[in-house]
Structure 1
């Protein structure tokens, strides 16, 4: 953050107006301890909606079916499976994630600075958050698979799905959901991110988690544009073999630890 307010204002003319309007009108909401968990759940559900439409269109559209990753386990999940998954995730957020995340936010005591970040600061902070979160997630994910007790009590529930679909990204135990939300919050807190940067990071983090579990190798997916990312084929291979591809988004940690495996790019 720049020390000189006038210099900061000159550096962030695009974001300053946006930040002032949000800060002045929604300050009570932005400081709410329930915001992080509520935002995570609602964003996740909203971002899953397009994939629910794709799953519904798959029975009638050959083009959509050609985008699905061949998991060898049958057709996309039914509407009933989507609804059951939604109810499970909602229950866990309401009973465990929301109160625990609220307690963490109260201890964290977030504040609302007067100045918006520059576009460059926004970009750097979001990228730094992803790199740190990716490293923390890799270590935690690796431990959950390597320690039998952690796998049985925390992570095994997430691996119940053989055919991945978007909403399954959050279909895990309450402990795992809370741990992943805390890893994301801690990443932004450790780096001292501006609230705008943190909000954008959480939004993109939700999108990439949904995309990882969607079961589609879409032509516009981010992993097809950036070779440093694994994407849905990378993560679907993890769900099938369970001993490879532990990193959520990038592939460098799996290369370094020797856990990188071939992605599932074979389509129906």
Structure 2
């Protein structure tokens, strides 16, 4: 089913797809586009009561200064770190010929799921260390916890080193798992989406966490807890590692008196 799409991309946009900058442009563009609906919800606030009732911390909306700060940090990190790192990939992984065969749908879905699970394990350990080792927390991760009520644009408000390591795993994991390029790019976009949703501050009926039974997937309510209680819910997406290591906590928000 994916072969006609892949043939069109491969035959008409080969040079663009083979560029080391393409994955970076894809993820950065996806990030800001996916943030826009949640940004609109935050800006409208209580004017959209139908939407606002799904806000996890309804009395805490991001200010204009907070939104500008997060956007500035994200653009700064990408211009000074991520884009140069992408250009540097030409040194160790020059552009390769695009495969003629497209992945099957099951192959693509399995690859995306496998990459999410692998990243979840990697970042659980990395995130835990950033909270337990004070130097790592103060130097790189503290900026992300400026906000006890997360919002979409806070997703990539990170120290530069942490953002680079996240990007490194996102790029390396599909190679380790032997994924098709189309699967790799789909994983990158899906990963951006679930990361934004985790930080969006809204628990909508269509949230991915509601599609998984037994609380297997964390979602925005679990990550909201992490920003309120930073020693809980270290895994970025799923819940099993936090449950195994005793750092899991459910959402329970009490508005201030």
Q: TM-score range by the shorter chain?
A: over 0.9
- Corresponding position of 2:23: 36
Change (3 A) 1:163 1:105: farther
Equivalent residue in structure 1 for 2:173, among 187, 199, 216: 187
The aligned length equals 253
CA deviation vs aligned residue, 1:82-138 (integer Å, no higher than 9, x gap) = 233212211110011111133236423453211101111111111111111111111
> Structure 2 length as normaliser, TM-score?
0.92
Unaligned runs of 5+ residues in structure 2 are: none
- Corresponding position of 2:122: 136
The SS at the match of 1:58 is: helix
- Corresponding position of 1:159: 145
- Corresponding position of 2:57: 70
Range moving further from structure 2, 237-246 or 79-88: 79-88
1:15 aligns with 2:2: yes
- Corresponding position of 1:124: 110
Change (3 A) 1:258 1:176: same
Q: Aligned equivalents of 2:254 and 2:45: distance in 1?
A: 17
- Corresponding position of 1:145: 131
Change (3 A) 1:106 1:33: farther
> Structure 1 length as normaliser, TM-score?
0.89
The SS at the match of 2:170 is: helix
Q: Aligned equivalents of 1:225 and 1:267: distance in 2?
A: 27
Equivalent residue in structure 1 for 2:66, among 81, 85, 88: 81
Root-mean-square deviation (CA, aligned residues, Å) is 1.8
Range moving further from structure 2, 116-125 or 56-65: 56-65
- Corresponding position of 1:244: 232
Q: Aligned equivalents of 2:60 and 2:117: distance in 1?
A: 34
Would the aligned equivalents of 1:69 and 1:264 in 2 still touch at CA under 8 Å? no
1:47 aligns with 2:34: yes
Q: Aligned equivalents of 1:212 and 1:191: distance in 2?
A: 25
Change (3 A) 1:167 1:98: same
Change (3 A) 1:184 1:264: farther
Range moving further from structure 2, 98-107 or 16-25: 98-107
Change (3 A) 1:267 1:188: farther
Change (3 A) 1:213 1:110: same
- Corresponding position of 2:182: 196
Shift of 1:80: 4.1
Shift of 1:265: 6.2
The SS at the match of 1:171 is: coil
Q: Aligned equivalents of 2:26 and 2:135: distance in 1?
A: 31
CA deviation vs aligned residue, 1:200-227 (integer Å, no higher than 9, x gap) = 1111100000000001111110101113
Would the aligned equivalents of 1:59 and 1:65 in 2 still touch at CA under 8 Å? yes
Would the aligned equivalents of 1:101 and 1:178 in 2 still touch at CA under 8 Å? no
Shift of 1:232: 0.6
Q: Aligned equivalents of 2:123 and 2:131: distance in 1?
A: 12
The SS at the match of 1:57 is: helix
Unaligned runs of 5+ residues in structure 1 are: 1-13
- Corresponding position of 1:10: none
Change (3 A) 1:110 1:192: farther
